[in-house]
């Protein structure tokens, strides 16, 4: 597994080095190196973003926070505005790997990796995050991820940052169901955001991980939920809709059948959660 | 029942100075500081890197191997196939000799019997070249149909896995049966007819991996005088030496440095034969470090077992029958095949010695998957899952608390079981009367500490979670009686220190430390005065190795004997030097003190003996082999929480109350039980090997094969009953394996208590619980 390893110091150098075909981008390497080691990918060149100061930043603006490409999960978790404005994202990141993985891994890496099981990615889907690409374009995360491990990132470009708009939510929920409690890839994961008053829903977002080729936002369920009262009937209808819309597969972690019902069942967590508004 | 009075039956003073204290591990600092202590840390110049070409087929005949391209690669020194190594049948099992395991293995064979079986040995100047060479070897296979389902391994018309004429010691290889065993006491069917309540069930346990941190590793070289030397990460250096001589006809020295865990996985010879073959062929040092994938796919696993159990009792709660019909999967080769199966009976059945009729029988079958071998508990965790679960169900049907039921029928001090005599390791066992058994205290004090009775009364379901509690009883043994022998040598130095040389194999367990404690106690000095060295077949005395819960008991007794004889030697020398009769002298704090108040230090004695007075080196060697195998006992309590919406099981609390006699080092003893509990939780909830339809193991790394993490282990508590085993060193019994016997039944029983589902197949996956809950809801 020989490959050339490049560590550019500026974004200009990065761009030049990336222009060579067959180059792989690496930041923390928590995913890429595992794939290289098991022979799943055989890169000729690996270009690391880790020493580029202009990619290492965190900005707390009035209407959004901006997360630079080389910000690790651990750095994010220490970033006070994150837990204040995006507790959902904090909860999701908290379940990623182990402390060691979180010290190396990055949220941008999670986005570019585009795994349907990406915990951080699921939160970004729910938060309508936007991805800032080195060519100057900014695209919604849902458009950026095009399939399992596939993105709309043009060849020779890289992700500079993630923009997450601030918004007030009454309820946030994230849960990852794995066989084990840490260092685990989920059998299924779910997250939702609810803006509500007296248990009447004003706005609702829901997404699932590990049950479709990409993270799955269920827009029609979200639309349906508007104006509804959070009670058992409501969760029952949502649960049925979810079961019809997720398309998990069988793998070593669990059967498709289990995952489908699991997704439907996880909705019932909302009854307790819903009382918070 | 009241908690029995503690400490009344102790036969010897428990006022120890060194024993029963938690001194730090003698090798602790070196390990945590990352010193060069493991096999792979040894820098042997000019060593070749050895890699093994492995079979992609579960069952095939090797028609033809063409290594010419590999040999043409610069840096490749040799490629060995079955034609280049002696055709000598042996067993990989490192156990008493002659081994009860079949001789069904060759270093390399013309047939491969599982995906991962060795086809060729490659030695090259670098790892990179060796790996490239592996890809250049062309092998033509005649692929045979494979036996992948062990429940059908001996069906008519199944392919024969071991058709080699050299095989010996296997029960019926033509039907893929490696071993067979059966015993009975009275007539189980007649007795079952008399029972008021009978429970039947079939239980399955899987084949987890040991998942030790250090992979299998060995280095071989000729020393300057041409003596073959093997440094190996092994639990059994003396068996390695003997087996290497058997295969290659060459004498060797085997050195065991620090070991990064074994759990039975290194109680077999795996890597040693490959490096030896290369060193003998090339004359050069050879090094082989298994990859994690090889450790997972091409060494040993636990034996997967199936037990059909029938238990029966009368209305008054008297257990009358235990009938266990077993089937064990030994995979491609039969190392430890018979003995693990027998231990499944011999280390469980005597616990319930009040029973009228007992039957234990079954086959151990060959299949075309990775061979099973020794693994902590050695069959007992498999059968105890079946037996304890069945007894729990029986108690439930009788309307009795399982603690009352199991206590009522279990063994006590002064009692025996005919099973001790009937079942040994591959042969008959030995009779023994139990001299220490605090199972009643373990159960009752444990129940109190756990709040068992209060917890049982609580409502099970709260919201979307259900909680339940389970209890499991266990026993194990301390060594293999009349077979296991260990020796210890103690040499006194002129600075008042002692060299303690033992063949006993510390594999991370802390045996070097506890043996030093035993010697220090007997010699009235402190642990830091002992320079412990283990194990080196050219230097240390023989020891069978680290297995069968034997080191504390057997090697400990050998060490105690040696220390006691050394004490006599010291007294004799002091008597001569001080010119006082021995009767007027005693040992205290590293000195000999006379009744008149005169004293001489150990250092002064040996200095005089070196240079000026009746000159000699004080040195003694003693050995120990036991006539009995006193069982440790344990009662474990588990509290689980089940998420009714996902089926996920969390083990919230796990308490083990252990009777291991005197814990020589309570902290290390606790570590043994805690570690076994975690390994048990893994076996119960997470660890499962998945094979594809061609028999290839899919779960060959820690990404797909999940062992418990710190977050999966909530609250583990270990308590020790006050106990003293008269035959043990300072009252000690074993503690290393027993901890793995209870997690499976305790957790399964707790799940039943929580949701009424009787789990009979491990691992218990969220998914299985989930669908069982759904089915239950449907049938209501």
pLDDT digits (tens, 9 = 90+) for B154-177: 999 999 999 999 999 999 999 999
3-state secondary structure of B224: coil
CB atoms within 10 A of CB B224: 5
Q: Which residue has the higher pLDDT, A96 or B499?
A: B499
| H-run or E-run covering B653 | strand B649-659
The strand order across the sheet containing A23-26 reads: A4-6, A45-48, A23-26
Same domain, A137 and A200: no
Q: Which of A165, A190, A223 is the last residue of a domain?
A: A165
- pLDDT for B313 equals 98
Q: Which of A165, A181, A209 is the last residue of a domain?
A: A165
CB of A182 within 8 Å of a chain B CB? The answer is yes
Same domain, A121 and A137: yes
Q: Are A181 and B711 within 8 A, CB to CB?
A: yes
Tell me: pLDDT of B3 over 80: no
Domain boundaries, chain B: 39-144+211-297, 304-480+628-779, 485-625
> Cis before residue B763, ω within 30 degrees of 0?
yes
Return residues 102-161 of A near B (CB < 8 Å): none
When pLDDT is cut at 50, 70 and 90, the band that residue A81 belongs to is: very high
Please choose, from the candidates B353, B184, B258, the residue with its C-alpha nearest in 3D space to the C-alpha of residue B546.
B258
Condensed to tens digits (0 to 9), the pLDDT of residues B670-728 reads 999 999 999 999 999 999 999 999 999 999 999 889 999 888 889 999 999 999 999 99
Q: Are A265 and B646 within 8 A, CB to CB?
A: yes
CATH (domain of A104): 3.30.465.10
Q: What's the gap in Å between the CA of A258 and the closest CA on chain B?
A: 6
DSSP letter at B370 equals P
Structure tokens that stand for B72 in this block: 């043409």
Q: Domain containing A206: what range? A: 171-274
Tell me: pLDDT of B562 over 90: yes
- pLDDT for B385 equals 98
Tell me: pLDDT of B14 over 70: no
Least confident of A243-247, B72-76, B241-245: A243-247
Q: Are B708 and A266 within 8 A, CB to CB?
A: no
Structure tokens that stand for B272 in this block: 């040693």
When pLDDT is cut at 50, 70 and 90, the band that residue B389 belongs to is: very high
CB of A179 within 8 Å of a chain B CB? The answer is yes
Structure tokens that stand for B668 in this block: 């290390």
- Region B212-217: what's the mean pLDDT? 97
Same domain, A34 and A138: yes
When pLDDT is cut at 50, 70 and 90, the band that residue A178 belongs to is: confident
Structure tokens that stand for B240 in this block: 């390695």
- Region B428-436: what's the mean pLDDT? 96
- Region B227-240: what's the mean pLDDT? 98
B304-480+628-779 and B485-625 share one fold = yes
Q: Alpha carbon of B287 to those of A57, B46, B232, B275: distances in Å?
A: 47, 10, 10, 6
Q: Are B686 and A265 within 8 A, CB to CB?
A: no
In angstroms, the CA B239 to CA B93 distance is: 9
Q: What's the gap in Å between the CA of A184 and the closest CA on chain B?
A: 8
Structure tokens that stand for B548 in this block: 């069968």
CA Rg value for chain A = 19
Closest alpha carbon within chain B to A35: B703
Residues of A in contact with B650 (CB under 8 A): 181
Structure tokens that stand for B498 in this block: 């002692």
Same domain, A158 and A266: no
When pLDDT is cut at 50, 70 and 90, the band that residue B578 belongs to is: very high
Same domain, A151 and A244: no
- Region A155-169: what's the mean pLDDT? 96
Range B485-625 classified under CATH 3.30.365.10:
yes
In angstroms, the CA A180 to CA B709 distance is: 8
Least confident of A197-201, B90-94, B192-196, B538-542: A197-201
Residues of chain B with pLDDT > 90, as a percent, come to 96
Superfamily of segment(s) B39-144+211-297: Aldehyde oxidase/xanthine dehydrogenase, a/b hammerhead (3.90.1170.50)
Closest residue to B645, CB basis, from A182, A183, A268: A268
- Region A80-93: what's the mean pLDDT? 95
Q: What's the gap in Å between the CA of B689 and the closest CA on chain A?
A: 10
Tell me the residues of B at the A interface, defined by beta carbons under 8 Å apart. Answer: 463-464, 645-646, 648, 650, 685-686, 690, 698-699, 701, 703-704, 706, 708-712, 765-767, 770-771, 774
Tell me: pLDDT of B4 over 70: no
Same domain, A160 and A208: no
Closest residue to A258, CB basis, from B645, B650, B767: B767
Q: What's the gap in Å between the CA of A252 and the closest CA on chain B?
A: 7
Classify A112 in phi/psi space as left (phi over 0), alpha (psi -120 to 50) or beta.
alpha
Alpha helices in B141-291 (DSSP H): 188-194, 237-248, 272-282
Q: Which of A124, A144, A165 is the last residue of a domain?
A: A165
Q: Are A182 and B704 within 8 A, CB to CB?
A: no
When pLDDT is cut at 50, 70 and 90, the band that residue A277 belongs to is: confident
| Domain count across chain A | 2
Residues of B in contact with A181 (CB under 8 A): 650, 709, 711-712
Tell me: pLDDT of A152 over 50: yes
CB of A268 within 8 Å of a chain B CB? The answer is yes
When pLDDT is cut at 50, 70 and 90, the band that residue A1 belongs to is: low
Condensed to tens digits (0 to 9), the pLDDT of residues B402-421 reads 999 999 999 999 999 999 99
When pLDDT is cut at 50, 70 and 90, the band that residue B11 belongs to is: very low
Same domain, A19 and A155: yes
Tell me: pLDDT of A187 over 60: yes
- Region A148-166: what's the mean pLDDT? 96
Q: Phi and psi for B304 in degrees, rounded to 5? A: -70, 140
Measured in whole angstroms, how far is the alpha carbon of residue A29 from the centre of its chain? 17
Tell me: pLDDT of B8 over 60: no
Residues of A in contact with B686 (CB under 8 A): 179-180
- pLDDT for B122 equals 98
Residues of A in contact with B710 (CB under 8 A): 182
In angstroms, the CA B147 to CA B695 distance is: 9
Same domain, A183 and A220: yes
Closest residue to A252, CB basis, from B464, B650, B690: B690
Same domain, A246 and A184: yes
Residues of B in contact with A270 (CB under 8 A): none
A with B: how many residue pairs have Cβ under 8 Å apart? 58
| Beta-carbon contacts of residue A266 (< 8 Å; ≥ 6 apart) | A175, A177, A188, A190, B645, B646
Cβ atoms B547, B264 nearer than 8 A: yes
- Region B186-211: what's the mean pLDDT? 98
Cβ atoms B94, B548 nearer than 8 A: no
CB atoms within 10 A of CB B638: 31
Please choose, from the candidates A29, A100, A119, A31, the residue with its C-alpha nearest in 3D space to the C-alpha of residue A70.
A29
Same domain, A156 and A176: no
When pLDDT is cut at 50, 70 and 90, the band that residue B10 belongs to is: very low
When pLDDT is cut at 50, 70 and 90, the band that residue A97 belongs to is: confident
- pLDDT for B585 equals 98
Please choose, from the candidates A89, A90, A59, A49, the residue with its C-alpha nearest in 3D space to the C-alpha of residue A163.
A59
- pLDDT for A8 equals 97
Q: Tell me the average pLDDT of chain A.
A: 93
- Region B184-189: what's the mean pLDDT? 98
CATH (domain of A206): 3.30.390.50
CB of A39 within 8 Å of a chain B CB? The answer is no
Closest alpha carbon within chain A to B706: A180
- pLDDT for B713 equals 86
CB atoms within 10 A of CB B7: 10
Interface probe for A, chosen from B712, B714, B773 (most Cβ of A below 10 Å), is B712
- Region B344-349: what's the mean pLDDT? 98
| Beta-carbon contacts of residue B237 (< 8 Å; ≥ 6 apart) | B254, B255, B256, B503, B505, B535, B536, B537, B545
3-state secondary structure of B402: helix
Closest residue to B708, CB basis, from A180, A254, A272: A180
Closest alpha carbon within chain A to B701: A38
Same domain, A68 and A159: yes
Condensed to tens digits (0 to 9), the pLDDT of residues B659-682 reads 999 999 999 999 999 999 999 999
Closest alpha carbon within chain B to A266: B645
Residues of chain B with pLDDT > 70, as a percent, come to 98
Interface probe for A, chosen from B765, B768, B773, B775 (most Cβ of A below 10 Å), is B765
Same domain, A190 and A217: yes
In angstroms, the CA B780 to CA B778 distance is: 6
When pLDDT is cut at 50, 70 and 90, the band that residue A98 belongs to is: confident
Q: Which CATH class is domain B304-480+628-779?
A: alpha beta
Burial class from Cβ neighbours inside 10 Å (0-12, 13-18, 19+) for residue B55 reads buried
Angle at B456 between CA B454 and CA B462, to 5 degrees: 100
Q: Tell me the average pLDDT of chain B.
A: 96
Q: Phi and psi for B434 in degrees, rounded to 5? A: -70, 120
Cross-strand bridge partners of residue B268: B93
Angle at B459 between CA B455 and CA B461, to 5 degrees: 115
Q: Could you give the count of Cα atoms lying within 13 Å of B504 in the half-sphere of its Cβ?
A: 35
ipTM, 2 decimals? Answer: 0.84
Q: What's the gap in Å between the CA of A175 and the closest CA on chain B?
A: 11
Closest alpha carbon within chain A to B645: A265
Q: What's the gap in Å between the CA of B32 and the closest CA on chain A?
A: 18
Tell me: pLDDT of B229 over 90: yes
Residues of A in contact with B699 (CB under 8 A): 252
């Amino acid at each position: 597994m020989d490959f050339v390893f490049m560590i550019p110091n500026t974004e200009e150098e990065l761009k030049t080095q990336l222009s060579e075909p067959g180059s792989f981008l690496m930041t923390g390497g928590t995913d890429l190196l595992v794939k290289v080691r098991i022979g799943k990918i055989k890169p000729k060149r690996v270009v690391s973003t880790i020493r580029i100061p202009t990619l290492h930043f965190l900005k707390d603006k009035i209407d959004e926070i901006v997360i630079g490409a080389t910000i690790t999960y651990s750095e994010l978790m220490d970033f006070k505005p994150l837990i204040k404005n995006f507790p959902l994202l904090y909860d999701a990141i908290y379940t990623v790997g182990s402390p060691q993985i979180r010290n190396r891994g990055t949220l941008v890496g999670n986005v570019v990796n585009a795994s349907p099981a990406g915990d951080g990615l699921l939160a970004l889907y729910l938060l309508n995050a936007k991805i800032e690409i080195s060519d100057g374009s900014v695209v919604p995360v849902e458009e950026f991820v095009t399939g399992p491990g596939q993105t709309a990132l043009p060849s020779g470009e890289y992700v500079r940052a993630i923009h997450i708009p601030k918004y007030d939510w009454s309820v946030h929920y994230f849960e990852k169901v794995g066989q084990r409690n840490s260092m685990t890839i989920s059998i299924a994961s779910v997250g939702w955001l609810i803006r509500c008053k007296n248990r009447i829903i004003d706005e609702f977002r829901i997404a699932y991980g590990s049950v479709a080729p990409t993270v799955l936002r269920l827009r029609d369920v979200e639309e349906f939920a508007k104006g509804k009262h959070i009670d058992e009937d409501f969760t029952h209808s949502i649960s049925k809709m979810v079961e019809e819309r997720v398309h998990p597969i069988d793998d070593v972690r669990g059967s498709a059948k289990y995952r489908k019902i699991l997704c439907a069942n996880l909705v019932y967590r909302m009854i307790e959660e819903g009382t918070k508004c | 029942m009241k908690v029995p009075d503690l400490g009344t039956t102790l036969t010897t003073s428990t006022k120890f100075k060194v024993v029963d204290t938690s001194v730090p591990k003698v090798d602790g600092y070196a390990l945590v500081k990352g010193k060069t202590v493991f096999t792979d840390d040894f820098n042997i110049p000019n060593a070749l890197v050895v890699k093994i070409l492995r079979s992609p087929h579960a069952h095939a005949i090797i028609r033809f191997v063409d290594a010419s391209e590999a040999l043409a690669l610069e840096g490749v020194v040799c490629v060995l196939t079955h034609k280049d190594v002696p055709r000598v049948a042996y067993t990989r099992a490192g156990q008493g000799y002659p081994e009860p395991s079949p001789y069904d293995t060759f270093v390399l064979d013309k047939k491969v019997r599982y995906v991962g079986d060795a086809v060729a040995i490659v030695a090259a100047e670098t790892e990179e070249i060796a790996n490239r060479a592996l890809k250049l070897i062309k092998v033509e296979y005649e692929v045979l149909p494979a036996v992948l389902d062990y429940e059908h391994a001996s069906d008519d018309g199944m392919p024969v896995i071991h058709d080699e004429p050299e095989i010996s010691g296997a029960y019926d290889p033509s039907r893929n049966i490696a071993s067979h065993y059966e015993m009975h006491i009275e007539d189980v069917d007649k007795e079952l007819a008399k029972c008021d309540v009978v429970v039947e069930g079939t239980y399955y346990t899987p084949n987890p991996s040991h998942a030790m941190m250090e992979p299998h590793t060995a280095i071989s070289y000729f020393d300057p005088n041409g003596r073959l030397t093997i440094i190996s990460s092994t639990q059994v250096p003396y068996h390695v030496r003997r087996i290497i001589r058997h295969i290659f006809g060459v004498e060797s020295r085997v050195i065991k440095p620090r070991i990064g865990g074994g759990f039975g996985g290194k109680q077999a010879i795996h890597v040693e034969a490959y490096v030896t073959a290369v060193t003998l062929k090339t004359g050069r040092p050879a090094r082989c470090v298994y990859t994690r994938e090889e450790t997972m796919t091409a060494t040993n696993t636990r034996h997967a077992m199936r037990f059909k159990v029938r238990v029966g009792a009368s209305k008054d709660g008297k257990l009358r029958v235990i009938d266990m019909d077993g089937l064990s999967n030994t995979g491609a080769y039969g190392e430890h095949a018979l003995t693990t199966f027998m231990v499944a009976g011999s280390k469980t059945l005597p616990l319930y010695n009040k029973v009228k009729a007992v039957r234990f029988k079954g086959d151990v079958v060959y299949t075309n998957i990775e061979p099973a071998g020794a693994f902590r508990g050695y069959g007992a965790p498999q059968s105890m899952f079946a037996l304890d679960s069945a007894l729990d169900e029986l108690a439930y049907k009788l309307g009795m608390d399982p603690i009352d039921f199991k206590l009522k029928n279990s063994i006590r001090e002064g009692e025996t079981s005919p099973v001790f005599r009937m079942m040994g390791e591959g042969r008959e066992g030995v009779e023994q009367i139990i001299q220490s058994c605090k199972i009643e205290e373990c159960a009752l004090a444990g129940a109190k500490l756990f709040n068992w009775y209060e917890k049982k009364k609580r409502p099970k379901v709260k919201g979307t979670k259900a909680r339940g509690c389970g209890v499991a009883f266990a026993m194990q043994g301390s060594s293999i009686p009349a077979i296991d022998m260990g020796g210890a040598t103690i040499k006194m130095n002129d600075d008042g220190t002692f060299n303690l040389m033992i063949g006993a194999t510390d594999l991370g367990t802390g045996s070097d430390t506890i043996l030093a404690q035993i010697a220090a106690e007997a010699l009235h000095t402190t642990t830091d005065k002992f320079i412990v060295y283990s194990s080196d077949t050219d230097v240390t005395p023989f020891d069978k190795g680290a297995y069968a819960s034997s080191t504390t008991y057997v090697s400990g007794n050998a060490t105690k004997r040696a220390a006691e004889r050394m004490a006599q030697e010291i007294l004799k020398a002091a008597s001569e030097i001080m010119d006082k009769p021995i009767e007027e002298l005693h040992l205290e704090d590293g000195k000999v003190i006379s009744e008149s108040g005169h004293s001489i230090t150990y250092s002064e004695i040996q200095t005089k003996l070196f240079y000026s007075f009746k000159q000699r080196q004080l040195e003694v060697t003693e050995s120990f082999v036991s006539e009995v195998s006193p069982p440790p006992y344990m009662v474990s309590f588990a509290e689980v929480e089940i998420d009714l919406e996902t089926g996920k099981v969390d083990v919230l609390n796990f308490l083990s109350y252990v009777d291991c006699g005197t814990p020589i080092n309570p902290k290390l003893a606790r570590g043994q039980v805690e570690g076994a509990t975690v390994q048990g939780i893994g076996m119960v909830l997470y660890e499962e090997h998945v094979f594809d339809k061609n028999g290839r193991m899919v779960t060959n790394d820690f990404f797909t094969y999940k062992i418990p993490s710190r977050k999966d282990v909530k609250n583990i508590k270990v308590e020790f009953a006050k106990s003293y085993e008269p035959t043990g060193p300072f009252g000690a019994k074993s503690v290393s394996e027993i901890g793995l016997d209870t997690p499976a039944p305790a957790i399964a029983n707790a799940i039943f208590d929580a949701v009424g589902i009787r789990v009979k197949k491990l691992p218990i996956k969220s998914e299985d619980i989930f669908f069982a809950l759904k089915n239950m809801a449907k049938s209501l």
